[in-house]
Structures are given as structure tokens and as C-alpha cells.
């Protein structure tokens, strides 16, 4: 007989996918805090501390929810889980994407510093991080990562256009910082959304 029990596990997902999304949410919550730290450098100290405190609360909340979702995944079916060979292949591809991301960040930062455009580093880093979400969307089967990447790239482009146009140096950090943080926190919420049921 089939019964349904309320849990935090989406029934349409396998155990591995649920745990992967929970881990992804935890990682994004961490980097969301980092991007917020970048954004608040453009704010007055008191206001910046208040915004950062809210971001800390958000990151901790998403991290806790991610941990709970990961534990709850034990109730999910395993028939959709990838084989060891597939997991290894995905791991290698993920490693290559991350490696390319960090090499690009390092190279672009070096060029910007060498050409005396240090202020543009946050925007270009946000663009590189945004681009790396596009292959991850296909690799992990999470189409929402396309939106995450597009939002980060848009925040970087906005900084590159508006900061010189308005002669407002603070926009070089405020736009990519807060734009990227918002994109990452929204993705966390998407990955951990709702309560669902699992069939046994």
C-alpha cells in the first residue's frame, strides 16, 4: 500500500539531486554574504552594518534550511540517483568549470590592476561568476541557474555603464555587490522552496 507523509522533500527529485541542491544553496548563501560585503563598502558605515547584519541572518537561515533539506533527503527515493561513473564525470566537469572561472578571475584582475582600473574588478568578477552559472545549469539540470547567471552579468554590465556615465565610483561596488547578492539569495530560495510529500 502507498501512503504519503509530509516532509521537506520534493517527491519528483531523487536523493542525490535534493542533497545537491541543498549543498548548492549553502554555497550560494556563503557567497551571497561575500557579495553583500562588497556592496556595503559603498554605503555609510552605520547603514552598511545594518544591511550586512540582515545578510548574515539571511545566509544563516538559508544554511540551516539547506542542512535540514539535506537530512530530509534520506526519505527520498534513490532510483533516480546517478551511478558512480556519472557522479565522477559530473565532478570532473564541475571542477573544470570552477577552474576556468578562477583562472579567468585571476587573469582579468591582474589586467585591470596593471592598467590602473582596480575599481572595475568587482564588476568583472561578477560577470565571470555569472557566466560560470550557464554551464552549471546544464550540468546539474537546474534551469534557474541561467537566470542567476544573467542577473549577475546584468549587474556587472550596469556598473560598467553607469559608474563611468555618472562619475559615481561607488557604483562599481554597489551594483555588482548587491545585484549578485540578490541573485544568489533568490536562487537559494528557489532551490529550497516549499514543503512537499514523498511516496513510500
Output the CA–CA distances (angstroms, integers) from residue 61 to 11, 67, 181, in the order listed: 23, 10, 15
Q: Count CB atoms within 10 A of the CB of residue 148.
A: 24
3-state secondary structure of 198: strand
Query: What mean pLDDT is predicted for residues 108-112?
Result: 97
Q: How far is the CA of 59 from the CAs of 51, 156, 169, in angstroms? A: 12, 22, 28
Are the CB atoms for 130 and 156 separated by under 8 Å?
yes
* Least confident interval from 9-13, 52-56, 116-120: 9-13
Q: What is the pLDDT of residues 14-64, one digit of tens each?
A: 777 888 889 999 999 999 999 999 999 999 999 999 999 999 999 999 999
Give SS3 for 6.
strand
The reported pTM is 0.85
Are 107 and 125 a contacting pair, CB within 8 Å? no
In the chain, the percentage of residues whose pLDDT exceeds 90 is 72
**Region 105-112 average pLDDT:** 97
For residues 185, 98, 100, 35, the Cα torsion angle rounded to the nearest 10 degrees is 30
Label residue 193 by pLDDT band (50, 70, 90). confident
- In whole angstroms, give the CA distance from residue 113 to residue 104: 14
Amino acid at each position: 500500500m502507498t501512503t504519503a507523509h509530509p516532509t521537506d522533500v520534493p517527491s519528483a527529485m531523487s536523493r542525490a539531486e535534493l542533497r545537491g541542491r541543498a549543498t548548492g544553496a549553502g554555497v550560494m548563501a556563503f557567497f551571497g554574504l561575500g557579495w553583500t560585503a562588497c556592496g556595503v563598502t559603498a554605503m555609510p558605515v552605520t547603514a552598511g552594518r545594518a544591511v550586512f547584519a540582515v545578510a548574515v541572518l539571511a545566509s544563516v537561515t538559508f544554511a540551516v534550511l539547506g542542512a535540514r533539506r539535506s537530512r530530509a533527503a534520506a526519505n527520498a527515493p534513490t532510483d533516480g540517483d546517478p551511478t558512480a561513473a556519472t557522479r565522477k564525470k559530473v565532478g570532473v566537469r564541475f571542477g573544470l568549470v570552477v577552474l576556468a572561472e578562477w583562472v579567468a578571475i585571476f587573469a582579468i584582475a591582474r589586467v585591470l590592476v596593471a592598467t590602473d582600473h582596480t575599481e572595475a574588478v568587482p564588476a568583472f568578477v561578477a560577470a565571470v561568476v555569472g557566466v560560470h552559472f550557464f554551464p552549471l545549469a546544464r550540468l546539474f539540470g537546474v534551469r534557474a541557474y541561467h537566470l542567476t547567471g544573467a542577473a549577475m552579468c546584468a549587474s556587472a554590465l550596469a556598473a560598467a555603464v553607469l559608474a563611468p556615465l555618472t562619475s559615481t565610483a561607488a557604483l562599481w561596488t554597489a551594483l555588482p555587490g548587491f545585484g549578485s547578492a540578490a541573485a544568489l539569495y533568490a536562487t537559494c530560495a528557489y532551490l529550497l522552496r516549499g514543503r512537499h510529500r514523498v511516496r513510500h
